[in-house]
Structure 1
């Protein structure tokens, strides 16, 4: 009887770990798609940003959020709602100023989610532009400002480094 209980416990633990790893992979896919949108805005490519945001939306929708632990699930549900709303604004606009303003909301939701869940596989840099009074995530330590693009491409600083797991 004890052997059976041990085996059931082992299987349950393995399934939970597998589900959480699946969510972690999906969240990293969201982060990668976020970087694509950030890079389009940083290089003043508003039409590309509108296209890349569609991939971002699909990645957000694909996160198996029901497998996240309770507190992370609640946070994801709140923040993904913001991400989806702001992503729709970017997709519906070709005006880079309004796209950048909407991206600010996505960035804060992503920063909050990343800090709370620590899902990142690689190092992530939280960067801040004092001129825009806004922050964003970057896969590179060198600043690439999505809020001003070519006008002030390297304006900002690394405010925080989040090491990958």
Structure 2
């Protein structure tokens, strides 16, 4: 009987630690997603300087992800996607015009879409939207389209192509 109680206690402690680690990781990923939305919203409203500033916060959030807590397959995916996000965030921050920033944002969006689909950390519904003119997709916190690739020229151009429910 003592052995069974000890085993139950060990399993309970191990699962509590895993749950806590995942929730800490989920919080960090959700902060990253919020920072991503800030960049997307700046580009959608043609605010080049705000986008350059917000992408620095996005880059810092990438660094803050406790990725060592992820299962092996997710860790491998995150390491690849985070490298893309960081490189393109640096490009976006240095972008001289909004067109160049938007081009960098395409790859950030692609990496973020792969991350959300495969790690499934989001605590709110995420909408994958696509602009046929830009031939590019992005994530949005709202179902209403807010196009970061054309901004005020075609603010609501695009469609919701996928809905990723909250975890």
The alignment's TM-score, normalised by the length of structure 1, stands at 0.97
Q: Counterpart in 2 of 1:128?
A: 130
Structure 1: runs of 5 or more not aligned: none
Give runs of aligned pairs for residues 78-157 of structure 1, distance below 5 A: 78-157=80-159
Q: Is the 8 A contact 1:47 1:94 kept in 2?
A: no
1:10 to 9, 12, 32: 12
Cα distance in 2, alignment partners of residues 8 and 118 from structure 1 = 27
1:65 pairs with 2:67? yes
1:161 aligns to what SS in structure 2?
Answer: strand
2:145 alignment partner, SS class: coil
1:94: Cα distance to partner?
A: 3.1
Displacement of 1:9 after TM fit?
Answer: 1.8
Matched residues in 1 for 2:78 and 2:19: separation? 18
Give distance in 2, aligned partners of 1:6 and 1:158: 46
Q: How far apart, in 1, do the equivalents of 2:6 and 2:129 lie?
A: 51
- Cα distance in 1 between the residues matched to 2:28 and 2:78: 12
| TM-score of the aligned structures, taking structure 2 as reference length | 0.96
Secondary structure at the aligned position of 1:71 is classed as helix
Alpha-carbon distance, 1:101 to partner: 0.3
Distance in 2, Cα, partners of 1:24 & 1:72: 13
1:34-91 per-position Cα deviation (integer Å, ceiling 9, x unaligned): 0000000000000000000011011111000000111111110010000000000011
Report how many residues are paired.
Answer: 165
Provide the C-alpha distance between the structure 2 equivalents of 1:163 and 1:13, rounded to a whole number of angstroms: 25
- CA-atom RMSD in angstroms: 0.8
Match of 2:28 in 1: 26
Shift of 1:12: 1.1
Matched residues in 1 for 2:41 and 2:136: separation?
A: 16
